[in-house]
Amino acid sequence: MTIQQLLKTAPVTTLLLVSFIGLFIMQVLSGVDANNPSTEELLKWGANALPYTMDSEPWRLASSAFLHIGLMHLLFNGFAMYFFGQIAEPMFGSAKFLALFLLAAIGGNLLNNHITWQGILDGTGQPGISAGASGGIMGIGAALLIAALFKISVNGMVLNLKSLIIIMGINLVYGFAVPGIDNAGHIGGAVTGLVIALAFAIAYRQRLAATLQNMPNQAQDIYQTTYINSFRFDNDGNFDNNSSFNHDSAVNLPMNVNANHASLNHSKINEQQTATKSTLIWQLLPWLVMLLISIGFVWWWQDIHQQILQVLAAIE
């Protein structure tokens, strides 16, 4: 896929890749080592670090997702974003895709800080730094797993569930096998992506069911009638007495048919309005879930923040 095609089909993915590369170039031009940046340099450029992030700089939960620790880290995450993004963004929509990436990245960083903090309290850990889009990308990958499980199609094609499981499994195994990998960030991002994707998949299924239920019947309309063709008239334009047509029915039948037709049309309109409202509600479900997750993340950050303040106050 060319850059022009990627920009057209997945604009957010393109912009994310440009931001990753652009930030890395800015770092290198400012004198940061392209392969082995120092801790001080990473902190300066927005890396996640518990003493800073959970104190007064929560913006690091998001900024660290755009920062990469060396060229190989950037290339690996850039390829993964390119691979997953061109599939996931057209499926979920650009706005939901961006929200999914950011929330998964934040969720991964929060879990990392939570585990780090618990290790400090237990005396088994110490503060470190983390950076990279891995948490957000794992969230996107987990979302694609749910899409494959629910058989949500992309341009008429259903994702291969087994292939996605293998890819995600390799990433997790690699993370635990190689030292220095932020496994908590990966897991936190994946769990966040799973929850959001479940909301999307359920909403997708319900909207599809509502659409199918509201499809018009292709059979001939039962209200169409040809009874006029069976009536016989005399030369004066009066009904033939020999006709089986009844004068009462000449007045009442059309009125009854029209009344029934109007009643059924009204019923159809009500059903369509109900289906439209139902579809709108299901469309809002993923956004509602993401809003609740955001509120939960704020509470989570505040909880760890307060614990840190209490410990510092006790030390003083």
More confident site: 110 or 163: 110
What pTM value is reported for the model? 0.79
Amino acid at 171: N
What does the pLDDT read at residue 146? 93
Report the mean per-residue pLDDT for the chain: 82
Residues of the chain with CATH 1.20.1540.10: 3-196+276-315
Is 17 in contact with 7 (CB distance < 8 Å)? no
Assigned token pair, 59: 């913006």
DSSP state of 287: H
Q: Can you say whether residue 106 is alpha, beta or left, with left for phi > 0 and alpha for psi between -120 and 50 degrees?
A: alpha
- For 127-175, the pLDDT digits (tens) are 889 999 999 999 999 999 999 998 887 666 678 778 888 888 877 777 7
More confident residue, 275 or 54: 54
Residues 266, 267, 273, CA angle at the centre, nearest 5°?
90
What are the strands, taking DSSP E only, across the chain?
48-49, 129-130, 153-154, 157-158
The predicted pLDDT at position 244 comes to 42
Q: What is the dihedral of CA 106, 112, 113, 117, to 10 degrees?
A: 160
Please, are residues 127 and 51 in contact by the beta-carbon 8 Å criterion? Answer: yes
**Residues annotated catalytic, as ranges:** 134, 186
pLDDT per position as a tens digit, 172-209: 777 776 667 888 999 999 999 999 999 999 988 887 77
- CATH assignment, 3-196+276-315: 1.20.1540.10
